[in-house]
Structure 1
């Protein structure tokens, strides 16, 4: 199914995660290759966000391993993972509502000290997200949901990610705004960033992603190319509303 003989950029091997006495993730194994966009779809509470949080380091795993770029990062703190190129755009966006849009974007670059590079990346983000550029001086909490989502993505890009984890980027947004967000995500992928996308809108996610995994009750139950999963009757019945 995957012809790339190279080793994966990210590999989860039988990871288990429990919190609050509940086994949220029950032995998940998946892999992402450099430059791919892969989506994780499933119902609410299936363990998708928990899996992303384990990759970014905000949650620890009870057992199993997480390998990134050939290195076991299971015990590595979040800020070190960020330095290695793993950036998370969390569910609910997680922007700093009292800071301006520009301050939010610059927070993404706090791990960097290459001033010229940061300015160049800011310009790149402004080109990619013109709506954000128009609102640089505005307090981020006063933006619309779609604009906040764009700021959150822009902020993540300023950390120069190699692997971008996107948690529900379309949640609560109008269809036209969602379309714009996904255009931006596609541009980021075209620039060579590897993307793992968790998305309630399964139809959209599978159209954009090369591969997908279906997660149910903490386990992966199906995997295939985006097109294979779109055509799968079980997926259609469960997630595409047919």
Structure 2
């Protein structure tokens, strides 16, 4: 089943067209990478998919239903969650309060507690710092918290925007180990990532965006071997 189908998506900021009519599909339990240079339109695409900015035109279907223009809070209730670029945690709230906010749309108290313990199992460091304010965490810890907060909504589709940005290599490795584990548990993933090699090695399929358009698409292994991709994005 296709969890996400995007047809002819255009997104504009005023008169500037940032996404110029793209098509993409994410199937159930897939890991799909969206790569490209800064300014290619990747983050804008994720924001439109997550209901944070309205598309200028095109269609977004989630779990077979049209959701074009639906607000974020409704999509979260339906199982579509975004881990935003730059983490965007609530700095004055504690780690645990941030995580609890991720479950704001839920009313199943015992299951929320189970999911909280699950997040702490994935990220033991968050449990150690659960009473600490989020603004005092390191960048890597804040990224763990942003992912954990999204998981508290029990997503079927998780959109990840630049999870490795600004992190030390060991922390990046840990974050991607957890992303793999989340995938093994059945969550479908759409990943925007500046580190193209890391993204494609994690993913089943990939899309390459340039100047608001999808210019290449295919199995991740094929894109890793594509001379154009290797030259432009893998530094080879």
Q: Which TM-score applies when normalising by structure 2?
A: 0.99
Aligned position for 2:216: 222
Is residue 95 of structure 1 aligned with residue 89 of structure 2? Answer: yes
- Counterparts of 1:95 and 1:37 in 2: how far apart (Å)? 24
1:21 Cα deviation from its structure 2 partner = 1.5
Matched, 1:148 2:117: no
Q: Pairwise mapping of residues 11-22 of structure 1 onto structure 2 (< 5 A)?
A: 11-22=5-16
Matched position secondary structure for 1:9: strand
How many Å separate the matches in 2 of 1:132 and 1:237? 39
Residue in structure 2 matching 1:105, options 99, 110, 116: 99
In the alignment, structure 1 residue 29 sits paired with structure 2 residue 15:
no
Aligned to 1:118, the other structure's residue is in SS state helix
Deviation beyond 4 Å, 4+ runs, structure 1: none
Once the 2 structures are TM-superposed, how far is the Cα of residue 78 of structure 1 from its aligned partner? Answer: 1.1
- Distance in 2, matches of 1:109 and 1:201, equals 30
Cα distance between partner residues in 1 of 2:14 and 2:165: 25
Structure 1: which 5+ residue stretches go unaligned? Answer: 1-5
Alignment of 1:139-178 (within 5 A): 139-178=133-172
Aligned residues: 236
In the TM superposition, what whole-angstrom CA distance separates every residue of 1:107-154 from its partner, at most 9, and x where no partner exists?
100000100000000011111111111100011001000000000000
Q: Distance in 2 between matches of 1:32 and 1:24?
A: 21
**Are positions 1:79 and 2:73 aligned together?**
yes
Shift of 1:20: 2.8
Other structure's SS at 2:93 match: coil
1:237 to 227, 231, 234: 231
Q: Which consecutive residues of structure 2, in runs of 5 or more, have no partner in the other structure? A: none
The secondary structure found in structure 2 opposite 1:151 is helix
* Structure 2 residue 204 is the aligned partner of structure 1 residue 210: yes
String of CA shifts for 1:191-222, please: whole Å, max 9, x gaps: 00000000000010000000000000000000
1:165-204 alignment to 2 at 5 Å? 165-204=159-198
- Aligned equivalent of 1:122, options 116, 119, 123: 116
- TM-score calculated relative to the size of structure 1: 0.97
Task: Give me the whole-angstrom Cα distance separating, in 1, the residues matched to 2:157 and 2:228.
Answer: 30
Correspondence for 1:60:
54
Distance 2:76 2:33 in 1: 21
Counterparts of 1:29 and 1:214 in 2: how far apart (Å)? 12
**2:125 aligns to what?**
131
Please report the RMSD computed on the Cα atoms of aligned residues, expressed in angstroms: 0.6
**How far 1:190 moved relative to its partner?**
0.4
